[in-house]
Structure 1
Amino acid sequence: MEILIKDCNWIITQDEHRRVLRRASVLVKDGLIADIGRDLSGGDVVVNGEGKVLMPALINTHTHISMSLLRGYAEDLPLDRWLKEKVWPLERKFTERLCYVGALLGCLEMIRTGTACLVDMYYYAGMVAKAVKEAGLRGFIGQGLIDTVSDDRASDENLRRNFLTETYKAIKTIRELNDPKIKPIVAPHAPYTCSDELLMESQTMARRLNALVHIHLAETRREQMMFQRKYGCSVVEYLDKIGFLNGNVLAAHCVWLTRRDIGVLALKGVKVSHCPISNMKLGVGGVSPIPELMESGVLVSLGTDGPASNNTLDMFETMKFAALLQKHNRWDPGAVSVQQVLDMATVNASRSLGLENVVGRIEKGFEADLILLDIRSPNLQPIYSPENLISNIIYAARGLNVDSLLVQGRLLMLEKNFQTLDEEKVYGLVEDALRELGIKSSNNIRHEKNGNYKLTNR
């Protein structure tokens, strides 16, 4: 199968030299980028690149896509209350089917907004992976692991056994999908919800599976204070003492860090997924020290977090917030550059996942995870230089500017039309899921015969 993406106005390669090409085409053959240049021919399918920018598809390194069903459900609460009073009680009603439906909705949004690859931690991870496969996306999917909900971090053996059982079940399901784009990961939820025994068992499991370890880390000041009171050191230092940290760990958030913590993360090769929007929305009170992390050699990528704490899966929005938050917090407009932010969502993310020679760049031999952005849009004009183009993508673009998405050379969206998922069918499944969860709308908009709409209470 050949796809020719012809006569693009611009191509952002993200190659080693960060070249931006003008008036060029890309030929995709059997899922790989076969050629890049002008006057290319061929293609079983020809996609018009006129008025568009071709760039690597984005990579979301931390999310919980099944939480699409909880978008807008629990608002304006601090993280601890948000989890304990709202999210966890409702999640107890979640079934395999509900997680699958929520994941389908999340996949729709990611396709629509230009994300090709995700790292997901949630319940019923096998069903999440099933939805990701149906959508055609690339995924690193893990069952969240929890065995303690008390400040003493004592393991609840029943809880631990149940979560481990679900983890092995999810791994088996993911492997049976027989899709090399979808890989199982090991996902201990957080140091405050996992005992030392479970954390180390997670690492043992990951080594046996040759899998990534994904964890929430240093998200709130409360977490840091808990470890300082109990162990006399920061949560990062504690994880280092027990031997948990290594280059196989992808840590989400990393907001409340000391200089010493940053040094430990750098020394151990831990990767960081920065989630600026959920950190701001949940009021964690701090800002991840991204410039210091990068200066120390820590590989930083970007995550949206879940749709209940963001509330979107739009990585373009996340890129903008990642840039603005650092500038605002540092009183320094040069704290993080637009190129550094674009790297976080592409080449840094691919390196974090061991895909640095697979995706994240537009180069011959790389797999064709690509997006076309429609620049015939008022929010993306004018474009007069490569530097201005990158700036517009970070500060002005929105996911809804995405015109087409390819993953491994397969069109998942073409000219804003979904190719793999039935949009209306997914919305119908979501409505059924909300009824099953008992989430009812307090208002209803009724269409009147005179053509007007009337807001009524039910």
Structure 2
Amino acid sequence: MLLKDCSFIITQDDKRRILKDYSIRIEGNHIVEIAKGIKGKGIDCRGKIVMPGLINTHAHLGMHSLRGICDDETLFNWLDIVNREEEKLSMNQILRNTEEGIIECIRNGTTCVYDSYKFAPERIKVFERLGMRGFVSSTVTKPHHLAHVDRLIHDTKKSQLVKPIVAAHSPYRCSKEILESIRDISREHNLMRRIHIAETEKEVRDTKKETGMTSIRYLDKIGFLGKRTILVHSTFVDDYEIGLIAKNRSSVSHNPISNMKLGSGGVAPVVKMLGRGITVGLGTDSVVSNNDLDMFEELKITCLLHKHHNKDPKCMTYQTAMDMATLHGAKCLGLSDIGQIKKGMKADLITVNMEGLGPWNSVVSNLVYCANGNCVRDSIIDGRLVMQDRVLQKI
């Protein structure tokens, strides 16, 4: 495959180079050449920006049919309504929801998504059929849920696109024994482990009342933190806890739109986290709390939220946000072969239509502050063209 005469290439390499009028040759699922004047037939990328596909580090695609059921509700009313409706979802509906969620992800420029919901082994097949790179888990809250993890590990062994994650829901829905079991499975099988943590002040208060410690301190105490740990939300954490996250080399999935929509009342201290060298990726959460899967929106909102909250326009730059949605997202999920455009990397790329987004005084700035998912024209995942001119190729 050849992407010819790209108007701009956002490499996201170590120097964050932006290449003009270069072409990209892909063989198999890897980038093998980036140069000017590569001969051969290919996709005409004049008038397009080519960039790494966006990486969504936290979603629940199986909830797709519940979008809009309880907007503008207080958090715990929202949870009651959503939990009741989730109980009504059949496996077939969840698989349809997963398909619709993946389609929305692809159309909005996401090439890798971490999706946690029920019926994980069955959802793997949907990812593979649509050509989507992903991480899949079923959230564990009870001991018998751990049996699902063994099947998930088995069913993803031969997949080039889908990897498993072992996932705890949260401290308030998982006993200490379950959290320790997830920790041990993660270590034994070399898997990433995930938990929703410090999302609300109530959670932190309840955890402290139950354990004598705040949420992150508790996870550190039981050995749950570590380099394979993904901490989702991490909104209500103090400076000492940021230090614990950094010391243990855990990663954070920041979901700003979901947190704002549910009115959690806090802003994750992402600027401080980045300052301590913590890897922070971006996520949408579900369409019930967002209400879409457009990662370009997360890019812009991340910048605006932290500039406003910290009263500092320089504290969250457009380049930092782009890093969080690409390089940091990959690292957050334990990947080192996507998130950049350079020779030897896997070919997870998107093209963005430049029309209506100029003038191009700053290419990355325009992408972060002006673009949205509707600007995406083509998507290549694992070297395969999964969307061309906004038409999905595998439906």
Structure-1-length-normalised TM-score: 0.84
1:86 aligns with 2:81: yes
In 2, distance between residues paired with 1:254 and 1:340? Answer: 19
Partner of 1:451: none
Q: Return the match for 2:123 from 119, 128, 137.
A: 128
Q: List per-residue Cα deviations over 1:180-201 (Å, max 9, x = no partner).
A: 2201110111111100000010
Partner of 1:438: none
Percent of pairs with identical residues: 38
In 1, distance between residues paired with 2:90 and 2:134? Answer: 21
Q: Is the 8 A contact 1:110 1:313 kept in 2?
A: yes
User: Could you say what secondary structure the match of 1:165 adopts?
Assistant: helix
| Alignment-mate amino acid for residue 340 of structure 2 | R
User: Could you say what secondary structure the match of 1:186 adopts?
Assistant: strand
1:382 aligns with 2:359: yes
- Report how far residue 80 of structure 1 moved: 2.5
Partner of 2:352: 373
In 2, distance between residues paired with 1:80 and 1:164? Answer: 27
Q: Unaligned regions of 5+ residues in structure 1, if any?
A: 148-159, 422-458
Partner of 1:42: 40
Q: Is the 8 A contact 2:297 2:372 kept in 1?
A: yes
Q: Is the 8 A contact 1:403 1:414 kept in 2?
A: yes
Cα gap change, 1:202/1:125 in structure 2, threshold over 3 Å: closer, same or farther? Answer: same
1:233 aligns with 2:207: no
| Alignment-mate amino acid for residue 409 of structure 1 | G
Q: Return the match for 2:189 from 209, 224, 227.
A: 209
Q: Looking at both structures, which has the greater relative contact order when contacts are Cα pairs under 8 Å and sequence separation is at least 6?
A: 2
In 2, distance between residues paired with 1:168 and 1:93? Answer: 26
Q: How many residues align?
A: 395
Q: Is the 8 A contact 2:56 2:282 kept in 1?
A: yes
Partner of 1:427: none
Q: Unaligned regions of 5+ residues in structure 2, if any?
A: none
1:62 aligns with 2:58: yes
1:187 aligns with 2:143: no
- Structure 1 segment 335-414 matched on structure 2, within 5 A: 335-356=315-336, 358-376=337-355, 378=356, 380-384=357-361, 388-414=362-388
Q: List per-residue Cα deviations over 1:49-69 (Å, max 9, x = no partner).
A: 010000000100011111111
In 2, distance between residues paired with 1:204 and 1:232? Answer: 23
In 1, distance between residues paired with 2:150 and 2:77? Answer: 30
- Report how far residue 117 of structure 1 moved: 0.4
- Report how far residue 37 of structure 1 moved: 1.2
In 1, distance between residues paired with 2:71 and 2:149? Answer: 30
In 1, distance between residues paired with 2:133 and 2:378? Answer: 16
In 2, distance between residues paired with 1:197 and 1:95? Answer: 29
| Alignment-mate amino acid for residue 267 of structure 2 | V
- Report how far residue 89 of structure 1 moved: 1.1
Q: Return the match for 1:324 from 304, 329, 336.
A: 304
Q: Is the 8 A contact 1:14 1:56 kept in 2?
A: yes
Partner of 1:420: 394
Rg: which structure is higher?
A: 1
Q: Is the 8 A contact 1:218 1:224 kept in 2?
A: yes
User: Could you say what secondary structure the match of 2:203 adopts?
Assistant: helix
Q: Is the 8 A contact 1:100 1:130 kept in 2?
A: no
Q: List per-residue Cα deviations over 1:238-287 (Å, max 9, x = no partner).
A: 11111111111011100001001100000011100000000000011000
Q: Is the 8 A contact 2:128 2:162 kept in 1?
A: yes
User: Could you say what secondary structure the match of 2:104 adopts?
Assistant: helix
- Report how far residue 209 of structure 1 moved: 2.1
Partner of 1:269: 249
- Report how far residue 229 of structure 1 moved: 2.2
Q: Return the match for 1:5 from 3, 6, 18.
A: 3
Partner of 2:277: 297
Partner of 1:249: 229
- Report how far residue 353 of structure 1 moved: 2.0
User: Could you say what secondary structure the match of 1:339 adopts?
Assistant: helix
1:145 aligns with 2:122: no
In 1, distance between residues paired with 2:153 and 2:382? Answer: 23
| Alignment-mate amino acid for residue 18 of structure 1 | R
In 2, distance between residues paired with 1:209 and 1:232? Answer: 31
| Alignment-mate amino acid for residue 368 of structure 1 | A
Q: Return the match for 2:20 from 10, 19, 22.
A: 22
Q: Return the match for 1:72 from 54, 68, 73.
A: 68
| Alignment-mate amino acid for residue 82 of structure 1 | W
**RMSD across aligned C-alpha pairs, in angstroms?**
1.2
Q: Is the 8 A contact 2:120 2:152 kept in 1?
A: yes
Q: Is the 8 A contact 2:253 2:332 kept in 1?
A: no
Q: Return the match for 1:167 from 113, 129, 149.
A: 149
In 2, distance between residues paired with 1:126 and 1:73? Answer: 27
User: Could you say what secondary structure the match of 2:290 adopts?
Assistant: coil
Structure-2-length-normalised TM-score: 0.98
In 2, distance between residues paired with 1:78 and 1:166? Answer: 33
In 2, distance between residues paired with 1:248 and 1:165? Answer: 21
In 1, distance between residues paired with 2:372 and 2:99? Answer: 21
- Report how far residue 136 of structure 1 moved: 0.5
Q: Is the 8 A contact 2:55 2:326 kept in 1?
A: yes
- Report how far residue 137 of structure 1 moved: 0.9
Q: Is the 8 A contact 2:153 2:164 kept in 1?
A: yes
In 1, distance between residues paired with 2:165 and 2:89? Answer: 21
Q: Is the 8 A contact 2:171 2:207 kept in 1?
A: no
Q: List per-residue Cα deviations over 1:378-435 (Å, max 9, x = no partner).
A: 2x11113xxx1111111110011000000011001001111012xxxxxxxxxxxxxx
In 1, distance between residues paired with 2:335 and 2:209? Answer: 39
| Alignment-mate amino acid for residue 202 of structure 1 | I
Q: Return the match for 2:258 from 278, 284, 297.
A: 278
| Alignment-mate amino acid for residue 25 of structure 2 | L
Q: Is the 8 A contact 1:275 1:302 kept in 2?
A: yes
In 1, distance between residues paired with 2:155 and 2:85? Answer: 25
